[in-house]
């Protein structure tokens, strides 16, 4: 378990002066939960992770790991890294090339658990290697392993410590695409089976969506949205989150009326004068908004007969991507992207219809970036 309250961290340099990397971040992670900090480089996610590990000293705030307060600016508490009951998996594998696979796990285990005897450390190290399916490689020189295997050694080294909290700093970023996907599935299965509380840092939206119980999207040192992967993806609270977590079309619209007396369905007028019905919550009439549409939420039909909540569109380009086709469209006076599973059903220049479920027509204020 982990609790972070009002965490702030600044860096100082001769050229830039004081730069605040983390600006009052707060969140909790429950037992066995997989929580991901997602954002671009420089957003503060790694600085937050390193503060939890004790590798950075925050300016203020509190950090509690399990039942232990490991940092408090107001109470002058700062527990050393090796006493924080955390284990960290780094972006670089941090493998000792002069050691065997088993030694890479057992030696740091004895350092991290001083009371542990050599025989017990070797037993725990072997158990950890079995967890990551590397038991048969125990006596192999570590440099002879593939990149994916070396990353699993790094994970085994962390798991052998039996930590309260597992910290993972972009551990898959150095792997090729196919190996990254395989390792991601293995990691998700393993942490779920072991019920390990995990804090994960990444800039990769697919990793965040696939692995996490909850995601916190960061921007400029603060958390701008937190929630389950499905909620944050389907209902981003800003254009920034919509853009970062997947592809999103943004169209300037004006809400001209409501379709019902309860004002749960807004009529949004597009630049060319056509309109679409959107789910409405806190939306005001005669106001400008950004209409957010996910490409996969736009149903494509070659039948152009007017249907409920459909708009005419013209295909400007169709790109076959294997499992799906990506369409570039002119729709409503704007250029947008739509996706459909399977082979192309319309070529460039074709007239088609786009139908959108009002639940997925998201209206955000123009200045909400």
What does the pLDDT look like over 182-197, one tens digit per residue? Answer: 888 888 888 888 899 9
The token pair that represents 308 in the structure block: 């409920």
Is residue 16 predicted with pLDDT exceeding 90?
no
The Cα–Cα gap between 87 and 66 comes to 13
Give the tens place of pLDDT for each residue, 57-110: 999 999 999 999 999 999 999 999 989 999 999 887 788 889 899 999 998 888
Strand order, beta sheet including 77-78: 17-29, 2-13, 60-65, 68-72, 77-78
Residue ranges, comma separated, of all CATH 2.40.50.140 domains in the chain are 247-365
Is residue 181 predicted with pLDDT exceeding 80?
yes
The Cα–Cα gap between 36 and 166 comes to 12
| Span 261-289, average pLDDT | 92
pLDDT at 111: 78
* CATH number at 2-243: 3.40.50.300
CA angle 199, 201, 203 (to 5 degrees): 155
Residue ranges, comma separated, of all CATH 3.40.50.300 domains in the chain are 2-243
With bands split at pLDDT 50, 70 and 90, how would you rate the model's confidence at 173?
confident
CA angle 277, 283, 289 (to 5 degrees): 75
Query: Residue 347, Cβ neighbours under 10 Å: how many?
Result: 9
With bands split at pLDDT 50, 70 and 90, how would you rate the model's confidence at 305?
low
pLDDT at 292: 94
Looking at the DSSP bridge assignments, the partners of residue 37 are 201, 216
Q: Using only the alpha carbons of the chain, give its radius of gyration.
A: 25
pLDDT at 282: 86
CATH architecture, domain 247-365: Beta Barrel (2.40)
Lowest-pLDDT range of 27-31, 140-144, 175-179 = 175-179
Helix axes 101-112, 147-160, angle to 10 degrees: 30
């Amino acid at each position: 378990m982990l609790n972070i309250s009002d965490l702030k961290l600044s860096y100082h340099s001769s050229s830039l002066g004081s730069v605040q990397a983390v600006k009052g971040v707060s969140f909790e992670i429950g037992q066995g939960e997989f929580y991901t900090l997602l954002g671009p480089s420089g957003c503060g996610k790694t600085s937050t992770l390193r503060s939890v590990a004790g590798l950075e000293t925050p300016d203020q705030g509190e950090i509690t790991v399990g039942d232990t307060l490991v940092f408090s600016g107001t109470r002058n508490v700062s527990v050393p890294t090796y006493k924080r009951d955390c284990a960290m998996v780094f972006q670089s594998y941090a493998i000792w090339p002069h050691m065997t696979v088993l030694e890479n796990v057992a030696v740091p285990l004895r350092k991290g658990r001083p009371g542990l005897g050599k025989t017990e450390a070797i037993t725990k190290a072997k158990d950890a290697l079995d967890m990551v399916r590397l038991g048969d490689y125990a006596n192999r020189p570590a440099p002879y392993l593939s990149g994916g295997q070396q990353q699993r050694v790094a994970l085994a080294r962390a798991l052998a410590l039996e930590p309260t909290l597992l910290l993972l700093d972009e551990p898959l970023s150095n792997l090729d695409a196919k190996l990254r996907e395989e390792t991601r599935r293995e990691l998700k299965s393993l942490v779920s089976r072991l019920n390990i509380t995990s804090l994960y840092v990444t800039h990769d939206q697919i990793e965040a969506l696939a692995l996490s119980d909850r995601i916190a999207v960061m921007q400029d040192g603060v958390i701008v949205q937190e929630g389950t992967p499905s909620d944050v993806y389907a209902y981003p609270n800003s254009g920034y989150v919509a853009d970062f977590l997947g592809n999103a079309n943004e169209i300037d619209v004006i809400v001209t009326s409501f379709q019902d007396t309860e004002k749960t369905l807004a009529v949004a007028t597009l630049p060319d004068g056509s309109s679409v019905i959107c789910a409405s919550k806190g939306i005001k009439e005669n106001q400008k908004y950004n209409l957010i549409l996910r490409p996969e939420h736009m149903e494509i039909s070659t039948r152009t007969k007017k249907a409920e909540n459909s708009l005419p569109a013209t295909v400007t380009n169709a790109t076959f991507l294997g499992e799906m086709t990506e369409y570039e469209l002119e729709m409503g006076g704007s250029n947008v992207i739509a996706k459909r599973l399977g082979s192309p059903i319309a070529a460039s220049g074709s007239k088609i219809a786009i139908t959108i479920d009002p639940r997925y027509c998201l209206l955000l204020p123009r200045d909400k970036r």
